[in-house]
Structure 1
Amino acid sequence: MTTPRWLPSVEVLLLIGVLTLLAAGGIARGVGPVPAAVLWAGATAVMFVPATLWVLADLRAGRWGADVLAVLALGGTVAVGEYLAGAIIAAMVATGRVLEAAARRRAGRDLSALLARAPTSAHVRRGDLVETVSAASVLPGDVVVVLPGEVVPVDGMVRGEGTFDESALTGEAEPVGHTGDAVRSGVVNAGAVVELLASATADASTYAGVVRLAEQAASATAPIARLADRVAVWFLPTALVIAALAWAFTADPVRAVAVLVTATPCPLLLAVPVAVTGGMSRMARSGVVVKDGAALELLGRVRTLAMDKTGTVTAGRPEITAVVCAPEDSAERVLGLAAAVEEFSPHVLAECVLRAARSAGVPLPRAEAVSETPGRGPEGMVNGKKIRVGRRSDGELPGWARGVERRGRLDLASVIWVEEDEKPVAALLVRDGLRPDAARTLRRLRSAGLTRIVLLTGDRVGNAEEVAAMLGLDDLHAECTPGDKISFVRGENENTVTAMVGDGVNDAPALAAASVGVALGSRGSTAAVQAADAVILDDRIDRLADAVEIARRARRLAVQSAGIGTGLSVLAMLAAAGGWLAPVLGALVQEGIDVAVIVNSLRAVVSPRSSRRRAPVGLVRRFAGEHETLLPVRSAVRLAADALAEGVGQDADDAVRQASRLLTERLLPHERAEEEQLYPALSEVLGDPDSTITMSREHTEIERLARRLRRHLDEAPDGIRADQVDDLRATLYGLDAILTLHFAQEEEAYFTL
């Protein structure tokens, strides 16, 4: 039967009873020693009975815990007539129980919140009607209606637009907009009524997996917590031996009782579980749910990390990295044509084309008679012309397009051709790029103590080598089967604590085989989530570094509190054995030790203080959004350089002048605004005026090269001359390289902030 919230807990009632009798004894002391002794003995008895029951329950369960010393101390004080010391010990034990319960409630409230928020019903559209059904009855393909303020009951795809509060899962305070993309169960509709197409049942959805982990976390005990009882196995006989020796050498039983009083083992009983549970709570607030305390402890001891590639260190969704088009054409126009025929295509790359067009602010013309040929791509009529997107048709390529496929191979990118009336007008280079937080995450993990980071992927060797080189990984294994991943992880487990991070069905066996498996739950498979020991709820790999840092700190605080508390208790026992601590004073000393170690363990619940100020989120999002609109500018720079390689002519001249115009009108104003508005704010946040100096230096170089390009064009009003080509190409390729590096650096910083 659950105690109503308005009633005090048993621990609180015991504490109230003990403190009342202790205080009453102090008042009665003015009347005489006998009434005071009776009241203090009563206070001791109030705690002696439940403490004895706790010890017997532990013994029946096969545990020989540290509570035995508390019972011996309580009984011993009564036996030698040290009733005040007994009452103080009773108050100490009762206070410890209340503190433990309060700390566990505080540390576990984030996990409890996840359990309490689990949606039980859903609104499903059936034709023109909306029915309220149980969340468990929703099937993939159902249209679910989510009202404002409601929790999304199942994973699904948003139909249209929606705004969601994801703070309960990810810790992200700002509402997040979704347009036609995936949304996870457990987030809250923070906008108007929204519809989504269910992609999973409630039980197979993200939130159900999180709830299962939270339920396991609430009931499990970490090995480090069990270590407390193992330490108690030697601590108990040590205390008894010291007490026995003190009695034997002095023939004074009071000294033996004083030793037992100072040996009351609250540092062992409370410090470790409070620190472990506090670390789990802080992880939950950071968007990572661990299955149990064992997973937290293992994360705190990880030395080797094995990582999947696609969707783990890469974004898991293709992005257009360059738009190559005829010099007389524009990237905006061809993106619009491609997006128009891709708008309703189920093709795997259609989404990235639409995303690039929307980000660049390109209006989509209307496409008619759209059809799709498997293996060739969609085609349709746009403005009276036949547009096809996909593989190119047979035939000779124009000069601007001849190097595109070679460039795609070198960049490890796929090439999507855009044809207008059977003639190629553009090529879109598409690849699955690194997550913007991947490099920083690995730097943080190495700083936290990881010594070996390995890539395990089923992808080709070339792709794996490029990713490993860019991230500075220690080793890679490409073209791996699930069995290969298991073999590698098991081999590493024999040498050190190994973590495996992944998101796919093929990663699930390796996640289960690792010392600790971590799944990316945002877009990860249900199998991966179920096999993992911890789940990252947000679509951010840097949460892994957060989890490792939190786990290390919680483990350090647990060991520190238990070690220091036990050491001080041993010193107090020796002092009591030597006669320097009477039972009453020893009880007070032990009370101080207990409070100190519990407070120290509670530090695991809170984040370490940081001198950094809050990041200017509005500015960061504004400039990050502008980055996406500048893809046509960056593409124009590379296109102009490639056009010059074909020789001097009108096409090359037009391409170079177009690139210069876009740089002057669009890119340089963006860079200057960053320098004037964003970088000073970032320097203040980071607490270092030189923190943005590298990116500022890149701004200067971009300005210099753009100015050099304009001078070339000013010197050739009638067209570019042959003697200018070499320097122009060097300038343009230099701009292309520095823009690629600069944007990558800024996007990593923006994503982190």
Structure 2
Amino acid sequence: MSDFLHDRLKVGLLAISLAGLFAGLVLSLAGFADAAGFVWFAGVVPVLIGLVVEIVKSLKAGDVGLDIVAALSMSAALAFDETLAAAVVALMYSGGTFLESFAEGRARHEMSSLLSRVPRTASRHRNGALEEVPLDDIEPGDLLLIRQGDVAPVDGTVATDQAVLDQSALTGESLPVHLSRGAEVMSGSTNAGDAFDLKATRPAADSTFAGIVRLVEAAQKSKAPMARLADRYSLVFLVVTVAIAFAAWWFTGDPIRAVAVLVVATPCPLILAVPVALVAGLSRAAHFGVLIKGAKPLEALARIRTLILDKTGTLTDGRPVVVAIESYGELSETEVLHFAAALDQASKHPIAQALVVEALARGEILPLPQKLYETAGEGITGSISGRHVAVGGTGFVSAQLGLPVSAPKERDTGEVIVALAVDGEAAGHIVLADTLRAGTAELLAGLRDHGIGRILLATGDRRAVAEAVTEGLGLDAVRAELTPDQKVLLVLTERKNGPVMMVGDGVNDAPALAAADIGVAMGARGAAASAEAADVVLLVDQLDRLLAGLEVAQRAQRIALQSVAVGISLSVAGMIAAAFGYLTPVQGALLQELIDVAAILNALRALRIRPTVLSSTPAPQPVTQTA
């Protein structure tokens, strides 16, 4: 049965039970007691039939749920002519299931809002005019016009002087971000300023937002159960309930007391509050850029005790940045970067692109290179503004000059040296490195505060590089030069210390992500294999979202447990009161209705969770990002 028809059925059963209860009350007040009993009976039967059908389906699937208690209470009330109590229980149950659907829909709002933002077309510059084209027709290099209020349809770079973007749907940050020419734009961002041009860097199907949409759809269609906490103990609770009801009947000889016990025992706090709280947690995590693929991963995330981190792209930014420039002769440091970046515009090598990004960030206007010749992986030569330029590794530039270059050797810290020669003379060198993400030490301390006892690094990089990058972080262990299967073995070994979370972003991390209790993929633009294998995807490449997701999961689980503990405690107290004759079946049903409403409202508190890691920081100022 489709979700739509299932929801319509819930509405129909609620309407029948509500109409039956109130019609019977009117007849009862008018003095037609027999007719009122018949109407109440008629209003209960459809709900009871629907409930029995659901119980049969659950039993066929091997699940013994607490819906059985609700069925017993309605059946017993009808059998002993307590039709009003049965009608109240029927309304309570049908209203509870409807409220569950409503609450889950409310809780999924943040995730569903992502899907509603998907643009269908884009305005593309072509032959001096604008044309409206489907997203599938956009290719890398196309120039698109993003009007005020438009959603960026693909990933790209700013092709005008500046842009102001609202990224709240992706990151949860409410303030707009100011971007300069050449800066990267994530698809799914909303233009909060003047119209600007966007140069597409990848097709729509491979864009950040398309990846997020696919992940959200997968999470919403997940067939994982909503982790009904009560079902784990349903047999025990069922036996206890029947035992109390039977004892009340046996020792007093009054079957109505047994009916009252069963009515009060209807365990809607367990049936409804847990899924509502967990789905609210899923929604809240998505609001802060953390996509958790279902309630089971949310529960597992709350219990993590060991964290294993990949290095490149996870603990570090994953992209080389310029950390030093040195000039040898007449050129200034700015001119060294200018010539190197201008020539490297013609190369797709990540180091070359890093130089171009740095030059654009410093406001350099780069002329077009000419007379190009590139040796893949080594360097490139060409002409810039009439001057012959060579850029590349020290060996490549030395070969071009016919004499050794005095640039420093690459160190074990992972630094890369790019040498530059202009007009046959060594002109300088540029040092690049993959740097540690800002705030990493504070983040790791926060993770330990939230119950993670062991934090390890697992990388395929050299040990000297791994140790240099992580110095001072206080990691429990550094495992370097690992193959993908060795990362899997490390995950399995660490399980002796408790549930393990693995965080990575590359294809080589996918097996370890799948092997861990919780796999976390960094960023929707990471490798598709890692995002597919992961249980959690950080929608933006910000490692602090890992702590935010962990805190949301733990607090949502606590709220679910609170709802259960309070609801069941009150239910048990009510059962005992009913067994001693202090509650009639009707009073018991009304009491249980109040308990249900209180439990579900408490569960919805999960929608107001705001992680401390985000709320405790100073109010952010509009961020200016450059290329």
Q: Please tell me the residue identity of whatever aligns with 2:564.
A: A
TM-score (norm 2): 0.86
C-alpha separation between the residues in 1 aligned to 2:186 and 2:548? 22
1:334-377 deviation digits (Å, cap 9, x = unpaired)? 33333333333333222222333333334546765454455653
After superposition, the Cα gap between the structure-2 partners of 1:57 and 1:481, relative to the gap in structure 1 and judged at 3 Å, is closer
The structural deviation recorded for 1:133 is 6.9
The structural deviation recorded for 1:85 is 2.3
Q: Which is further off, 120-129 or 9-18?
A: 120-129
1:19-55 deviation digits (Å, cap 9, x = unpaired)? 3443444444443261554444444445334333333
After superposition, the Cα gap between the structure-2 partners of 1:609 and 1:580, relative to the gap in structure 1 and judged at 3 Å, is farther
After superposition, the Cα gap between the structure-2 partners of 1:366 and 1:82, relative to the gap in structure 1 and judged at 3 Å, is closer
Paired position in structure 2 for 1:11: 10
**1:73 and 2:76 correspond:** no
Paired position in structure 1 for 2:219: 217
Secondary structure of the residue aligned to 2:525 is coil
After superposition, the Cα gap between the structure-2 partners of 1:2 and 1:302, relative to the gap in structure 1 and judged at 3 Å, is closer
C-alpha separation between the residues in 1 aligned to 2:106 and 2:477? 42
1:680-720 deviation digits (Å, cap 9, x = unpaired)? xxxxxxxxxxxxxxxxxxxxxxxxxxxxxxxxxxxxxxxxx
Paired position in structure 1 for 2:510: 508
2:202 to 193, 199, 214: 199
2:458 to 456, 459, 471: 456
After superposition, the Cα gap between the structure-2 partners of 1:513 and 1:463, relative to the gap in structure 1 and judged at 3 Å, is same
1:456-482 deviation digits (Å, cap 9, x = unpaired)? 111111110022223221111111111
Quick check: 1:337–1:382 contact (8 Å CA) kept in 2?
Answer: yes
Highest Rg: 1 or 2?
1
C-alpha separation between the residues in 1 aligned to 2:418 and 2:367? 19
TM-score (norm 1): 0.73
Paired position in structure 2 for 1:282: 284
After superposition, the Cα gap between the structure-2 partners of 1:95 and 1:180, relative to the gap in structure 1 and judged at 3 Å, is same
C-alpha separation between the residues in 2 aligned to 1:296 and 1:580? 41
The structure whose residues are more often helix, as a share, is 1
Paired position in structure 2 for 1:489: 491
Secondary structure of the residue aligned to 1:409 is coil
Quick check: 2:341–2:366 contact (8 Å CA) kept in 1?
Answer: yes
The structural deviation recorded for 1:309 is 0.5
Secondary structure of the residue aligned to 2:490 is helix
C-alpha separation between the residues in 2 aligned to 1:84 and 1:589? 14
Paired position in structure 2 for 1:102: 102
Secondary structure of the residue aligned to 1:65 is coil
1:88-113 deviation digits (Å, cap 9, x = unpaired)? 22222122122101111111223333
C-alpha separation between the residues in 2 aligned to 1:38 and 1:456? 70
C-alpha separation between the residues in 2 aligned to 1:501 and 1:546? 14
The structural deviation recorded for 1:519 is 0.8
Quick check: 1:156–1:200 contact (8 Å CA) kept in 2?
Answer: no
Quick check: 2:188–2:209 contact (8 Å CA) kept in 1?
Answer: yes
- What residue ranges of structure 2 are gaps of 5+ in the alignment? none
Paired position in structure 2 for 1:343: 345
1:472-521 deviation digits (Å, cap 9, x = unpaired)? 21111111111111111122235421111111111111111111211113
Provide the alpha-carbon RMSD of the alignment.
3.7
The structural deviation recorded for 1:267 is 1.1
C-alpha separation between the residues in 1 aligned to 2:536 and 2:155? 19
Paired position in structure 2 for 1:561: 563
The structural deviation recorded for 1:86 is 2.4
The structural deviation recorded for 1:325 is 3.1
The structural deviation recorded for 1:444 is 2.0
1:313 to 315, 320, 329: 315
Aligned pairs (5 A) from 1:171-190: 171-173=172-174, 174-175=176-177, 177=179, 179-180=181-182, 183-188=185-190
Paired position in structure 1 for 2:408: 405
After superposition, the Cα gap between the structure-2 partners of 1:420 and 1:479, relative to the gap in structure 1 and judged at 3 Å, is same
Q: Please tell me the residue identity of whatever aligns with 1:405.
A: P
**1:47 and 2:52 correspond:** no
Secondary structure of the residue aligned to 2:418 is strand
After superposition, the Cα gap between the structure-2 partners of 1:245 and 1:133, relative to the gap in structure 1 and judged at 3 Å, is same
Paired position in structure 2 for 1:232: 234
Secondary structure of the residue aligned to 1:225 is coil
C-alpha separation between the residues in 1 aligned to 2:327 and 2:184? 32
The structural deviation recorded for 1:608 is 4.4
After superposition, the Cα gap between the structure-2 partners of 1:422 and 1:328, relative to the gap in structure 1 and judged at 3 Å, is closer
Aligned pairs (5 A) from 1:434-473: 434-473=436-475
Q: How many residues align?
A: 615
Quick check: 1:213–1:290 contact (8 Å CA) kept in 2?
Answer: no
Quick check: 1:157–1:199 contact (8 Å CA) kept in 2?
Answer: no
Quick check: 2:227–2:274 contact (8 Å CA) kept in 1?
Answer: yes
The structural deviation recorded for 1:189 is 5.8
Identity value in percent: 41
After superposition, the Cα gap between the structure-2 partners of 1:458 and 1:134, relative to the gap in structure 1 and judged at 3 Å, is same
- What residue ranges of structure 1 are gaps of 5+ in the alignment? 629-753
Paired position in structure 2 for 1:738: none
Paired position in structure 2 for 1:168: 169
Q: Please tell me the residue identity of whatever aligns with 1:14.
A: L
Name the structure, 1 or 2, with higher relative contact order (CA <8 Å, separation 6+): 2
Quick check: 1:166–1:176 contact (8 Å CA) kept in 2?
Answer: no
The structural deviation recorded for 1:442 is 1.7
Paired position in structure 1 for 2:30: 31
After superposition, the Cα gap between the structure-2 partners of 1:235 and 1:378, relative to the gap in structure 1 and judged at 3 Å, is same
